[in-house]
Chain A
């Protein structure tokens, strides 16, 4: 364009760009035209969440579009996160990653706030089960943006365990001495025991149900090799044959195979099984709320969701990758990883904090410590 001549065209172009830019920034979608740096978005977005929720490529794209940096701070536990934000005040974080039924708890403690998601373009991409997730909603607003979900499947070594199990009680088979491992999440271990002993709500057990679960754990102990603090260790232990049974999310068998391990088969007990869905929440009093919301919209673009699914091999709350896989003729793969069965969510025993977390922790400690 020739310098210095303010033509009508130039004026129209620049104002259109500014308008589109602002609109795009407000909507947070990646526009075809590079928008002017929107003055509305102030960063950085501080996200206290788990590994995998903030990926480098997403971050770079978002920065290019909006000029906002996303800061990833590693979280290690729901209760620690809750304690840190509650005791320290929320102003230093904008987003916090929360699991399943912890979300209502975070809300009760006044640590997160509800936000509107229905107007976001990717909203329609969500499975209905998540659109209607009442425990995560306050009126029409959402307390958390759904991300991933999966049942915890009991994977067993098909070479060592020839007959497919028909009941969760197979875990207590004396043949499995020292061949089981579960992650060291006290509430989840006790909840599994609750499922096995027929508790109505494994994460909200009565005193008697809890006692029965504790007893079941006691009887299981000879079969347990260890309770590793990290999930990846379960994969390694299964891969090198130290354990024959473990509970992992949908892609467990594939991960074990990749680590050089044997073929594992999955078992969802008729008595019930635990599952989760997780997401990210807006911290109450977040210093950079608009930017945080923009980031949350950005990161559920179909390509990022696909990237995450292919890496972690467990389903997400969005249909996009499922459709792509079906088109590419990989519907079986999607089915194997439960992606096309979001109905399962209503059948899973959803993880979350029991009303008295301490009781579960005590039950675990008393069995394991003796």
Chain B
């Protein structure tokens, strides 16, 4: 079953397809529900309508929260990815005492419950550091809890890296900087890409830390949890569908452009 053939066996391909179905089945449902006339947003499907998309255009509060979520994720992702990549290089290519402890400690921001870390972070930010709260402070909070993901993603990639490639580059006259940029970095890129994807995704869903560290703004998870009385209307559904479909579209466009290289 795990035969390392050059092409995948039938079983592997079946498994792959099944997993994609598993991942997308609920999403397909969501897309259907975004067109569902019934305001409950779930079964039964009482009819089809574009109402929710229209309502979405007018729901400034929902759109604002979504935009804020994107801002925070947009700031946090490059920061966390860069910091994590640097740390990964350090971890994989150096040896020092207590390295095991250090690397394990780095992962701990993932463990502390977000709402509690958020409250403690708030105390540090306000009474102690005196910083005004804003999208930036929320993004900082996100960076803290998502950097461990970036470290792991890049380190995973870096472990299999063949150091002889660096030596070869040096032999050919490249300075360490050039070797890094033209040899190392491209080979580590899948890890960095994975890191960025994961950080961005985690950031979009983070609630606990966000609530306490953000200023007078709301993010999408905050908006959703505030709809206690009414529940989420299908407009949130429409938003999710649009964003996902939009991302797929951007992805295919980017792919076309990159392929020309």
Task: Tell me if B222 counts as interface (CB < 8 A to partner A).
Answer: yes
A87 contacts across to B, CB distance below 8 A: 119, 122-123, 126-127, 212
Interface residues on A, range: 35 or more
Q: Given A46-B216, A236-B42, A258-B39 in contact, is the A231-B231 Cβ separation under 8 Å?
A: yes
Q: A46 CA to B216 CA in the complex, in Å?
A: 6
Q: Are A52 and B230 also in contact (CB < 8 A) when A72-B61, A76-B222, A87-B119 are?
A: yes
The CA-CA distance from A44 to B60 in the complex, in Å, is 15
Interface string of B108-127 (1 = CB under 8 A from A): 00000001000100110111
In the complex, A134 has a CB within 8 A of chain B: no
A259 and B38: CB pair below 8 A?
Answer: yes
User: A73's closest neighbor in chain B, by CB?
Assistant: B218
Give CA–CA (A233, B222) in the complex, Å: 18
**Smallest beta-carbon distance B18→chain A, Å:** 28
Known contacts A51-B229, A76-B228: does B119 contact A83 (CB below 8 Å)? yes
Q: Contact at A260–B225, with CB atoms within 8 Å? A: no
User: Which listed residue, B65, B127, B212, B228, touches A50 by the CB 8 Å rule?
Assistant: B228
What's the Cα separation between A46 and B134 when bound, in Å? 13
Do B59 and A259 have beta carbons less than 8 Å apart? no
Select A74's contact among B59, B65, B126, B127, beta carbons within 8 Å.
B65
**Is the CB–CB distance between B40 and A259 below 8 Å?**
yes
**B200 to nearest A CB, angstroms?**
21
**0/1 interface trace, chain A 87-107, chain B, CB 8 Å (1 if under):** 111001100000000000000
Indicate the member of A56, A76, A92 with the most B CB atoms within 10 Å.
A76
Enumerate chain A residues within 8 angstroms of B122, measured Cβ to Cβ: 84, 87-88
Residue B44 at the chain A interface, CB threshold 8 Å: yes
Residues A71 and B216 in contact, CB atoms below 8 Å apart: yes
Interface string of A6-49 (1 = CB under 8 A from B): 00000000000000000000000000000000000000101001
Residue B58 CB within 8 A of the other chain: yes
B136 located at the interface, meaning its Cβ lies under 8 Å from any Cβ of chain A in the complex: no
Verify A231–B229 contact, CB threshold 8 A. Answer: yes
| Residue numbers in A under 8 Å from B65 (CB-CB) | 74
- Does A235 reach chain B (CB closer than 8 Å)? yes
Q: What residues on B are CB-neighbors of A88 within 8 Å?
A: 122, 125-126, 133, 212
Please name all residues of chain B whose beta carbon is closer than 8 Å to the beta carbon of A259 when the two chains form the complex.
38-40
Q: State the Cβ distance, A297 to closest chain B Cβ, in Å.
A: 21
Q: Among B46, B125, B211, find the residue whose CB has the most chain A CB atoms closer than 10 A.
A: B211
B215 sits at the interface (CB 8 A): yes
Q: How far is the CB of A237 from chain B (nearest CB, A)?
A: 11
Q: Which has the most chain B C-beta neighbours within 10 Å: A84, A88, A232?
A: A88
Q: Are B58 and A312 in contact (CB under 8 A)?
A: no
User: Bound complex: CA of A170 vs CA of B39, how far in Å?
Assistant: 32
Closest beta carbon of chain B to A230's beta carbon, Å = 6
Report if B226 contacts A (CB, 8 A): yes
In the bound complex, how far is the Cα of B223 from the Cα of A51, in angstroms? 8
Chain B residues with Cβ below 8 Å from A331 are none
Chain B contacts of A112 at CB under 8 A? none
- How many Å lie between the Cα of A259 and that of B36 in the bound state? 12
The interface bits of chain B over 121-152 (1 if a CB of A lies within 8 angstroms of the residue's CB, else 0) are: 01101110000110000000000000000000
* A73 and B216 form a contact (CB under 8 A): yes
Q: Are B211 and A52 within 8 A (Cβ)? A: no
> Cβ of B44: which chain A residues have Cβ within 8 Å of it?
260
A51 in contact with B38 (CB, 8 Å): no
Which chain B positions have C-beta within 8 A of A74?
65, 218, 222-227
| CB of B174 within 8 Å of the partner chain | no
Q: Which of B195-240 contact A (CB under 8 A)?
A: 211-212, 215-218, 222-232
B229→A50 contact, CB < 8 A = yes
**CB distance A236 to B40 under 8 Å?**
yes
Collect the chain B residues with CB atoms within 8 Å of residue A108's CB: none
Q: How far apart are the CA atoms of A87 and B133 in the complex, in Å?
A: 12
Closest A residue to B221 using CB positions:
A74
Judge whether A80 and B223 touch: CB under 8 Å.
Answer: no
5 A-B pairs with the lowest CB-CB distances in the bound complex, closest first: A232-B231, A74-B226, A46-B216, A51-B227, A76-B225
A-B contact pairs, 19 of them (CB 8 A): A46-B216, A54-B61, A56-B61, A71-B217, A73-B217, A73-B222, A74-B224, A74-B225, A87-B119, A87-B127, A232-B230, A232-B232, A235-B231, A236-B42, A259-B38, A259-B39, A259-B40, A260-B40, A312-B230
**Chain A residues with a Cβ under 8 A of chain B:** 44, 46, 49-52, 54, 56, 59, 71-76, 80, 83-84, 87-89, 92-93, 230-233, 235-236, 239-240, 249, 258-260, 311-312
Additional pairs, 15, CB under 8 Å, beyond known A73-B217, A239-B40, A259-B40: A50-B229, A52-B227, A56-B61, A73-B218, A74-B218, A74-B225, A74-B226, A83-B212, A84-B122, A92-B132, A92-B215, A230-B228, A232-B232, A259-B39, A260-B46
